[in-house]
Every structure is written in C-alpha cells, then in structure tokens.
A = this chain, B = another copy of it.
C-alpha cells in the first residue's frame, strides 16, 4: 500500500512563468532546478509539506510533456506515490488486472526505482510508483 505522495507533477510551457506564481506569488520554496536531458524536460522542485511539486517544462515540443501540452494544455500531469516494495506492488497490481506502462521498474541514477500505471486503470490519472533506495 502506498504510504504517501512523493510528488505532483505539473506540465507548463514556461518554467519561469510558472515559478512567478508558485514560488514568487504563492511563496513555496524552490528546492532546485534541474535539466533532465533523458526525459527532455527542465524541472523546478518546490517543497510543499511532505511532498514536492514538480514543474515540468519540455525542452522539445515532440516529447511526452510537449505532446501533453499540445493536446491538453498546461496543468496537472501525474501523481507519484511511494511504496515499500515496488516489485511486490507491481506483481499485486498485475494480478488485479491493472494495466502497467512499465511492467518492470526502471531505475534512476539516484537509485530510485519507478514504474508508471496506465490512466485506463486508475480513472484517468497517470500514476507513478516510487521505491526509494
């Protein structure tokens, strides 16, 4: 069972413009900015209680965030929850008939294991699972 939300991701066309609201007007602390060439996004990480907001700006219009913006406009993109054991969670969900985008977890450079669950199984929400190292 997931025990908390790790982050909520928001797709934006312009990170500076989004920071003008979330950091400057609303007052959330910007923890860091990061360019992720593999995903093709620039990310602003803002702290909000026990979770983070991730503002995702595509670096090219044809990647997944760019296509999302073109199709749906800016807004809430996905939600990520933490689990203790991602292999067990994925096996359990598969057994329940849940459609997995990543049937086996992927691993980031910092050791986080993650997998996405298809919105068709969740009521329209792109849901990410994280297992922290």
Number of this chain's copies in the assembly equals: 2
Q: Which of B25, B28, B51, B73 contacts A124 (CB 8 A)?
A: B73
Chain-B contact segment, one of A14-22, A31-39, A108-116? A14-22
User: B residues within 8 A CB of A125?
Assistant: 10, 74-76
Query: Does A5 lie at the interface of the complex (its beta carbon under 8 Å from any beta carbon of B)?
Result: yes
- Which of A3, A11, A93, A123 has the most B CB atoms < 10 Å from its CB? A123
Kindly list 14 other residue pairs between chains A and B, CB separation below 8 angstroms, not including A49-B51, A75-B124. A1-B26, A4-B48, A12-B123, A21-B98, A22-B122, A22-B123, A25-B93, A25-B96, A25-B121, A50-B50, A51-B51, A72-B72, A74-B123, A75-B119
